[in-house]
Amino acid sequence: MAARDSFDEGKRLFHLKRWEMALQEFLMVDSGGFSLKESVELSYYLGLCYTKLARYDDGLLYMEQVITQAENSLWIFQCRMVLAYIYVMTKRYKMAEFELEQLATSGFQSAQMYTSLAYSASAQKQYDRAMELYQKALDLDRDNTTALNGLGYILVDTEQDIIKGMEYCRKAVNMKPRNAAYLDSMGWAAFKTGDTSGAKNWLRKALGIAPNEPEIQNHLKMATGGIG
């Protein structure tokens, strides 16, 4: 019973977003008496905990175990999404695309899948492809804030259509006004239109939420002429 008690406690802590405490509970589980399904579920939660804690190599190990052993197609879908996220965060974009394309060829489609592919394309400066993928996400979910902000930011940053891009960014920030990335996009859009006062206001709000984010710091520096 001790193993299952730790397992249940780990899941309880995980859903409370206490990642480190949940991880410690899961690591104490002796899965010797577990069924295959229970062992796979344990690997799934261990992988998620490590990913939440930005311990990406450990997270990869457990997510790959789930993919090779799981019979639940939903778990496989979720694990491939997590793997893609890890690869994007560690700048292994081609591997991220491989995981996501595996999902697409298997018939899985979601706004999250398309926004992840779009982010990967954007990081590689493949802006036309990124915009196409963000639009596919919006076709599935017109209120997807990640896609709205991503598409808007590219239109603004590349100066293809600053006004339209700003509209997309504004819609995203209106839905999630405490998201630093969306506030940053609004600030950058304002800067691109020549509204330096508005830009500084948006960017200072963004920096207040994410003070260690280099891109926001750089945008604010440009908007203020280096004054701060």
| pLDDT above 90 coverage of the chain, percent | 69
Contact 98, 86 (CB under 8 A): no
The reported pLDDT for the residue numbered 85 is: 87
- How far apart, in whole angstroms, are the C-alpha atoms of residue 21 and residue 182? 31
Residue 26 clears pLDDT 90, i.e. is over it: yes
Radius of gyration of the chain (CA): 20
**37 Cβ contact list (under 8 Å, min separation 6):** 71
Contact 154, 119 (CB under 8 A): no
CA 46 to each of CA 37, 76, 150: distance values in angstroms, whole numbers, following the listed order: 14, 15, 30
Half-sphere exposure of 19 (CA within 13 A, CB side): 11
Instruction: Report which of residues 34 and 71 the model is more confident about.
Output: 34
The reported pLDDT for the residue numbered 200 is: 96
- How far apart, in whole angstroms, are the C-alpha atoms of residue 177 and residue 183? 7
Helices (H), 16-54: 19-27, 36-52
Section 174-190 average pLDDT: 97
The reported pLDDT for the residue numbered 203 is: 97
Measured N-to-C along each axis, helices 214-224 and 196-209 cross at an angle, to the nearest 10 degrees, of: 150
Under the banding of pLDDT at 50, 70 and 90, the label for residue 122 is very high
Section 40-69 average pLDDT: 93
The reported pLDDT for the residue numbered 101 is: 82
State the fold for domain 1-89.
Answer: 1.25.40
Which range scores top for mean pLDDT: 3-12, 47-56, 73-82?
Answer: 47-56
- How far apart, in whole angstroms, are the C-alpha atoms of residue 188 and residue 59? 34
pTM summary value: 0.75
Q: What is the mean pLDDT of the chain?
A: 91
